[in-house]
Amino acid sequence: MADEQDGRYCTVCGGIVPQGIEIRTIIVEGKETGINHLDRILDDVAALGLRDPAHIGEELLTRVQACNYVPTKKADAYREALLREYRDRAAEGGGGD
- pLDDT of 2 > 80? The answer is no
Per-residue pLDDT of 6-62, as tens digits, reads 666 666 566 665 566 788 999 999 999 999 999 999 999 999 999 999 999 999 999
Neighbour count for residue 88 (Cβ, 10 Å): 13
Q: Which residue has the higher pLDDT, 69 or 21?
A: 69
Predicted local distance difference test score (pLDDT) of residue 32: 94
Residues 6+ apart with CB under 8 A from 76: none
From 58, 52, 11, select the one nearest 35 (Cα to Cα).
Answer: 11
Predicted local distance difference test score (pLDDT) of residue 27: 96
Query: Cα separation of 73 and 83, whole Å?
Result: 17
pTM given for the model = 0.76
Residues 6+ apart with CB under 8 A from 29: 74, 77, 81
